[in-house]
Amino acid sequence: MLTFRNILFALVAIVSLPACKQSFLDLYPQTSVPPALFFQTEEDLKMYTLGLLSVRDRGNYLSDQDTDDKATTGAVEVKTIMTGTATSQTITGGWSWDRLRNINYFLDNYNKAKVGQDVKDHYAGIARYYRALFYFDKVKRFSNVPWYSSTINPSDTVQLYKGRDPRAQVMDSVIADLEFAAANVRTSVPVGTPGKWVMKLMLAKIALYEGTYRRYHSELGLEATAANLLDKAWKTAEDVMTNSPYKLSSDYAALFNSASLAGNSEVMLMNVYDQDLGRSGNNNTYINNYEQSPARELVQTYLMKDGSRFTAQPNYQNMQVVQEFKNRDPRIYASFITPGFVMAGAAAPYIMRLNKNFSGYHQLKGYINSTDSKVINNVDFPAYRFAEVLLIFAEAKAESGSLSQADIDKSVKLLRDRAGMPNLNMAAANADVDPILAAKYSNVTGANKGVILEIRREKRVEFAMEGLRYDDLMRWGAGKSLETIPEGMYFPGLGKYDLNGDGIEDIILIDKGSSIPPAAQQESNSLGVKLVYYKAGSFGEDVTVYLKNGTAGGSIVTDTRKRTFQEPKHYYRPVPFNEVLLNPRLGPQLFNWE
* Predicted confidence (pLDDT) per residue in 527-577, tens digit: 999 999 999 999 999 999 999 999 999 999 999 999 999 999 999 999 999
Residue 280: predicted pLDDT: 84
Please state whether the peptide bond connecting residue 422 to the residue before it is cis, i.e. omega within 30 degrees of 0: no
Residue 3 lies in a domain: yes
Q: How many residues does the chain have?
A: 594
Q: Stretch 377-395: mean pLDDT, rounded? A: 98
**1 pLDDT higher than 50:** no
Q: Which H or E run includes 296?
A: helix 296-301
* Whether residue 5 is found in the same domain as residue 153: yes
Q: Stretch 71-75: mean pLDDT, rounded? A: 92
Residue 237 lies in a domain: no
Query: What is the C-alpha to C-alpha distance for residues 583 and 158, in angstroms, rounded to an integer?
Result: 11
Q: 6, 12 in Cβ contact below 8 A?
A: no
Percent of the chain with pLDDT over 70: 94
Instruction: Please classify residue 471 by burial: count the beta carbons closer than 10 Å to its beta carbon, then call 0-12 exposed, 13-18 middle and 19+ buried.
Output: middle
Domains in the chain, number: 2
SS3 of residue 321 by DSSP = helix
Q: Stretch 184-197: mean pLDDT, rounded? A: 97
Residue 197 lies in a domain: no
Residue 32: predicted pLDDT: 58
* Whether residue 162 is found in the same domain as residue 310: no
* Whether residue 161 is found in the same domain as residue 30: yes
**447 pLDDT higher than 50:** yes
Q: What residues pair up with 165 in beta bridges, in sequence order?
A: 145
Q: Stretch 265-270: mean pLDDT, rounded? A: 98
Q: Stretch 344-371: mean pLDDT, rounded? A: 95
Residue 339 lies in a domain: yes
pLDDT single digits (tens) 89-148: 999 999 999 999 999 999 999 999 999 999 999 999 999 999 999 999 999 999 999 999
Last residue of a domain, one of 172, 197, 215: 172
Residue 14: predicted pLDDT: 38
Residue 591: predicted pLDDT: 97
Which residues span the domain enclosing 325?
Answer: 284-367+484-594
Residue 30: predicted pLDDT: 53
> Nearest Cα to 354, choosing from 508, 544, 512?
544
Residue 79: predicted pLDDT: 95
pLDDT single digits (tens) 302-357: 999 999 999 999 999 999 999 999 999 999 999 999 999 999 999 999 999 998 89
> Nearest Cα to 182, choosing from 203, 157, 166, 160?
203
Q: 415, 392 in Cβ contact below 8 A?
A: no
pLDDT single digits (tens) 413-429: 999 999 999 999 999 99
Q: Which H or E run includes 231?
A: helix 226-243
- What confidence tier does 31 reach under pLDDT thresholds 50, 70, 90? low
Last residue of a domain, one of 132, 149, 172: 172
Residue 38 lies in a domain: yes
* Whether residue 12 is found in the same domain as residue 157: yes
pLDDT single digits (tens) 202-222: 999 999 999 999 999 999 999
Give the pTM: 0.94
Radius of gyration, CA atoms only, the chain: 26
- What confidence tier does 35 reach under pLDDT thresholds 50, 70, 90? confident
Q: 368, 306 in Cβ contact below 8 A?
A: no
Residue 455 lies in a domain: no
> Nearest Cα to 461, choosing from 294, 301, 247, 313?
301
Last residue of a domain, one of 172, 200, 225: 172
Q: Stretch 159-183: mean pLDDT, rounded? A: 98
Residue 222 lies in a domain: no
263: Cβ contacts below 8 Å, ≥ 6 apart: none
